[in-house]
Amino acid sequence: MPNLLKIGLVALSIIVSRPSASVAQSGTTQYKCMIQMTNYMGEKAYIAVSLMNGKGTYEKTLYVLGSDKKWYPDVKAWYKALGKKTPNLSAITGASVAGGDRSVIVLEIDNSKLNKDYKLRFESAVEDKEDHAKDLEIPLTTEGLSAKSEGTGYIRYVRFSPNSPN
Amino acid sequence: MTISVWRYSHLALAVSSFLLLTLASVTGIILAFEPISQKMQPYRVDAVSQLTLAQTLPVLKKSFAEISELSVDANQFVQIKGSDADGKNLTAFVDPQTGKSLGIPSPQSEFFQWITALHRSLFLHEAGRFFIGLTAFLLLLITISGTMLIIQRQRGVRRFFTRIVRDNFAQYYHVVLGRLSLIPIFLIALSGTYLSLARFGLVGTEKVSPNIDFDAIQAKPERKLADFAVFQNTRLADVQTLEFPFSEDVEDYYTLKLKDREITVNQITGDILSENRYPTAVLLTNLSLDLHTGRTSAIWAIILAVASGNILFFIYSGFAITWKRRANRVKKNNYSADESRFIILVGSENGSTFRFAQAIHQQLLKQGEKSFLTEFNNYTVFPKADYLIALTATYGLGDAPTNATRFMKRIEKYPQPHPVRYSVLGFGSHAYPDFCQFAFEVNQLLARQSWAVPLVDIHTVNDKSPAEFGLWAEAWSQQTNLPMPVSGELLKAPALPLETLIVTSNTKTAQPDGTFLIRLRSKHSQEVTSGDLLALYPANDHRERLYSIGVLDDELQLSVRLQPGGLGSGFLHALTPGETVHARIVSNDHFHFPKKAPVVVMIANGTGIAPFLGMISQNKHRTPCHLYGGFRYRASFDVYRDFLEESRSVQKLTDLHLAYSREGEKRYVSDLIAQDADFIGNILVTNGVIMICGSLSMQKDVIALLETICQTKTGKSVSFYQSHSQILMDCY
């Protein structure tokens, strides 16, 4: 019995002492992500952040910046692949971003996808302006998530940092 | 002329924009309730106006795991974005004093989102935005042209807020409310236009990225957040947003956006790294948003809602005015201008004068006469015309109404081939200083035409008074022997019952020209003033005869010349003391002795002296009075001599000038006036009053003479003094 207790305590201590906060119990990691916009003129941009697999197909919506569903069809590629099928986006929805502004969001990414030929895609759309299906794509690697990545459309750059409260 | 330019543009702009304007106003009213409903939410903390960033930030940092942005919105609600203890995205309203979370902001309601999109772009994206922007610009022009119209209506900027004359409901409230909501509507239109321009990139509102010298960034000395000077000096209320550094790297910084500038702050030392003042265009955009949406003040939002409601009322009342004006325009004439015996000319700005013209026109047609009704501007040669009736209003500073502006030229161009008897009827309101001035000018103009023969003296109608219109109708009817019953629609006042009068004396004919004086006493002491008229019905039928009354010793004195076969004069001449007469006393306000004049000049010929005799007798205040009288013979004047000499001795009459046309030097009363031209000119300059009573031909001469005197001595025209009640006339 004492052995069993010991094993139990060790097991418990292992569980408790696992790296805190950044790795949640479900096997996902939270990344703080800053999107800095260019100084374009026009309405606020709608941006969809999606997880893409190696074949270049959409797998999951990670975040949507822009709360009015009326404009979702403007984010064309994402809307066609995921947007209209995803019923409840409200938990991963934030405000749209204006030219020159920045937005800081938290992305929750499945640990199993890291370093496995997945990509993060940022698609941006502005009313009555060109839509950028691949404004920015970042390989989902430890390296990719630590660098500053330049956008090609309305996004100037995206930066990540591990979400470490306090 | 300019009046019509502003009016036509006001109308054209309104017509071209009213559909979108209606839509924008209705949605605008609804949207005004968004800031109002927001302000009723309990997220405002009073301390927000005193707290500085240096006081708030440490508190908030302690309460929340991670903050990426702090913002203070137009309602002064403090909001933070960041992540909670579990690392989840977090947005919350907070109390900046305690750091407590007050609630989660709800996204803009779908209803308001929908209305906002409709208001901004009609759901048509760029094209819709363009049309809405254009509508805002048109509204701006409507406001400007409307302001010009009010200034012209009120005769000058300084009289902008004085009383408005009430024509009808739509017109009155269009102007009254127009003045009141002028400023908010102007601001709505201006800010809306500006926002559209900014939206289309026509004003430079592009953002400038902070220019930071990263090589110069210091990591020392390390200071506490509460010790950052820039945060100590910034009140929370002035903050728009504060973006927190993305990481702890020294190259990441605070970005503080205030109302007028953007500052970046070193996150370790608290030094200011860069400072950008926003361009004026950006400040104007923000100001326009504040003004256009009412987001900063619930009171202003309510004002905006009311002003938008007013726009809807203006659309309704504006079109009501236009319909009315159109409906009053000339309809198709039954007879052509070439074949008609009666020509009715109308000068009208808003159409109300047409009602009176139509009444006359219909009356003549009913009697089988060929009558032609047209606007002054259509004046031309009327080959069969015997009678001309000119009805006109006055607009602006005694100017011609829009449809009469070309009359002056046309009358010179188209002389009538044979004599036409004319009568002018002016419409106006004593609320304006230039009462019926254009009508007086038309009258003078006609008097100068060789073909024009005066039929009855010019009459004026104040505020559409049916009684005054009736007065003209009676006089006209008497001269033409055509009944001109004024229809009940116009003449609302019931015909007064006849008065019973007893003849007290009758001089009978003693003079070579047949003049006699008759005195009557009213059975009931009725209110009567010298200058009023006595209407007699000698044959007990529609035929009415009017005589000017002089009140002496509480008796009505008429001065009458016996005409061979005259209906009225024959009837009066036959009366003997003790007999009774049935007649009506007609008040004739415009020819009463002036209450305030410093001096009065009376000009009369023949029996026209009658009202003046009464006025002199009643001149208790001894107002200086100068009487100019013209008679045929010395003996014609004898009936009045004793009374006037006596009045002079008690200073009721200052002096007396007489002219005799058929003996001695054979002079007319106008010769006396010409002699005293300087004196007469001076009378007018010093606010004195000139009263003229007698025959129309005498009036014509005297007015022509006065015109010359006025032009040379005072620089103004006779019509100016006529419209300011300084020249009063009652001739026949």
CA distance A130 to chain B (A): 13
CB contact under 8 A, A165 and B65: yes
CA distance B75 to chain A (A): 18
In total, the C-beta contacts within 8 angstroms joining chain A to chain B are 60
CA distance A146 to chain B (A): 12
Q: Angle, nearest 10°, between helix axes B638-649 and B610-617?
A: 20
Using an 8 Å Cβ cutoff, are A56 and A81 in contact? no
Q: How confident is the model at residue B53 (pLDDT cuts 50, 70, 90)?
A: very high
How confident is the model at residue A10, as a pLDDT?
53
How confident is the model at residue A75, as a pLDDT?
92
Side by side, the strands of the sheet bearing B239-243 are: B101-103, B89-94, B78-83, B66-72, B239-243, B253-258, B261-266, B272-277
For residues A127 and A96, give the distance between their C-alpha atoms in angstroms, rounded to a whole number: 12
How confident is the model at residue B6, as a pLDDT?
84
Token pair recorded at residue B600: 């009065």
Q: Per-residue pLDDT tens for B575-616?
A: 999 898 888 888 888 899 998 899 999 999 999 999 999 999
Select the residue of B68, B113, B126 nearest A128 (Cβ to Cβ).
Answer: B126
Q: Per-residue pLDDT tens for B401-431?
A: 878 888 989 999 999 999 999 999 999 887 7
CB contact under 8 A, A104 and B68: yes
Asked if the bond preceding B221 is cis, omega within 30° of 0, the reply is yes
CB contact under 8 A, B113 and A102: no
A13 lies in a domain?
A: no
Residue B209: list chain A partners with CB under 8 A: 39, 100
Which candidate, A75, A65, A153, A144, places its Cα nearest to that of A102?
A: A65
For residues B588 and B412, give the distance between their C-alpha atoms in angstroms, rounded to a whole number: 34
For residues B422 and B426, give the distance between their C-alpha atoms in angstroms, rounded to a whole number: 13
3-state secondary structure of B114: helix
Residue B126: list chain A partners with CB under 8 A: 128
Average pLDDT, chain B: 88
Q: How confident is the model at residue A52 (pLDDT cuts 50, 70, 90)?
A: very high
CA dihedral B281, B282, B286, B292 (to 10 degrees): 40
Which residue matches tokens 């939270």? A30
Q: How confident is the model at residue A22 (pLDDT cuts 50, 70, 90)?
A: very low
**A interface residues, B as partner, C-beta within 8 Å:** 21-22, 24, 30, 32, 34, 39, 41, 67-68, 70, 92, 94, 99-100, 102, 104-106, 127-128, 159, 161, 163, 165-166
Full 3-state SS string of B345-381:
EEECCCCHHHHHHHHHHHHHHHCCCCEEEEEHHHCCC
Continuous segment of H or E residues that includes residue B615? helix B610-617
CB contact under 8 A, A163 and B66: yes
On the CB side of A142, CA atoms within 13 Å amount to: 1
How confident is the model at residue A19, as a pLDDT?
42
Same fold across B328-480 and B499-731: yes
Percent of all residues in chain A with a pLDDT value above 70, rounded to a whole number: 81
A10 lies in a domain?
A: no
Which candidate, B193, B180, B196, places its Cα nearest to that of B138?
A: B193
How confident is the model at residue A166, as a pLDDT?
40
Picking from A44, A74, A105, A106 by the largest number of B CB atoms within 10 A of its own CB, the best residue to mutate is A106
Domain-wise residue ranges, chain B:
2-40+110-205+285-289+299-324, 62-94+207-277, 328-480, 499-731
Picking from A31, A44, A68 by the largest number of B CB atoms within 10 A of its own CB, the best residue to mutate is A68
Q: Per-residue pLDDT tens for B60-70?
A: 999 888 899 99
CATH number of the domain where residue A39 is located: 2.60.40
Using an 8 Å Cβ cutoff, are B395 and B364 in contact? no
For residues B637 and B161, give the distance between their C-alpha atoms in angstroms, rounded to a whole number: 53
How confident is the model at residue B49, as a pLDDT?
86
Residue A39: list chain B partners with CB under 8 A: 206-209
**Please, what is the Cα angle at B281 between B277 and B284, to 5 degrees?**
100
Name the E strands within B244-307.
253-258, 261-266, 272-277
Neighbours of B94 (CB within 10 A): 24
Residue B89: list chain A partners with CB under 8 A: 92, 94, 105-106
* A129 → chain B, closest CA residue: B126
Full 3-state SS string of B482-544:
CCCCCCCCCCCCCCCCCEEEEEEEECCCCCCCCEEEEEEEECCCCCCCCCCEEEECCCCCCCC
ipTM score over 0.85, yes or no: no
Query: DSSP for B415-459?
Result: --SS-EEEEEEEEE-TTSSSTTHHHHHHHHHHHHSTTEEE-S--E
Ranges A34-38, A153-157, B509-513, B529-533: which has the least confidence: B509-513
- Is the pLDDT at B642 greater than 70, yes or no? yes
CA distance B140 to chain A (A): 24
How confident is the model at residue B157, as a pLDDT?
78
CA distance B284 to chain A (A): 16
The domain tally of chain A equals: 1
CB contact under 8 A, A68 and B83: no
**What is the reported pTM?**
0.66
**B interface residues, A as partner, C-beta within 8 Å:** 65-66, 68-69, 81-83, 85-89, 91, 107-108, 113, 117, 125-126, 201, 205-209, 243, 246-247
- Is the pLDDT at B493 greater than 60, yes or no? no
How confident is the model at residue B416, as a pLDDT?
93
How confident is the model at residue B649, as a pLDDT?
92
Q: Per-residue pLDDT tens for B290-324?
A: 999 999 999 999 999 999 999 999 999 999 988 87
For residues B251 and B261, give the distance between their C-alpha atoms in angstroms, rounded to a whole number: 21
- Is the pLDDT at B495 greater than 70, yes or no? no
How confident is the model at residue B162, as a pLDDT?
76
A12 lies in a domain?
A: no
How confident is the model at residue B659, as a pLDDT?
93
Q: How confident is the model at residue B220 (pLDDT cuts 50, 70, 90)?
A: confident
How confident is the model at residue B328, as a pLDDT?
67
Q: Per-residue pLDDT tens for A53-67?
A: 989 899 999 999 998
Q: Give me the mean pLDDT over the B438-453 stretch.
A: 92
How confident is the model at residue A18, as a pLDDT?
43
- Partner residues linked to B92 by β-bridges: B80
How confident is the model at residue B486, as a pLDDT?
66
A5 lies in a domain?
A: no
CA distance B141 to chain A (A): 27
Token pair recorded at residue B532: 């009023």
Q: Give me the mean pLDDT over the A29-54 stretch.
A: 91
For residues B635 and B660, give the distance between their C-alpha atoms in angstroms, rounded to a whole number: 10
Domain membership of residue A94 as a residue range: 21-162
Ranges of H-type helices in chain A = 2-16, 76-78
Tell me which CATH code domain B499-731 carries.
3.40.50.80
CB contact under 8 A, A128 and B83: no
Residue A99: list chain B partners with CB under 8 A: 207
How confident is the model at residue B419, as a pLDDT?
93
How confident is the model at residue B270, as a pLDDT?
93
CA distance B438 to chain A (A): 57
How confident is the model at residue A2, as a pLDDT?
55
How confident is the model at residue A163, as a pLDDT?
65
CATH superfamily, domain at B328-480: Flavodoxin domain (3.40.50.360)
CB contact under 8 A, B246 and A100: no
Which candidate, B472, B475, B470, B442, places its Cα nearest to that of B459?
A: B472
Measured distance between the N- and C-terminal CA atoms of chain B, rounded to whole angstroms: 34
Continuous segment of H or E residues that includes residue B50? none
Residue B246: list chain A partners with CB under 8 A: 32, 34, 104, 159, 161
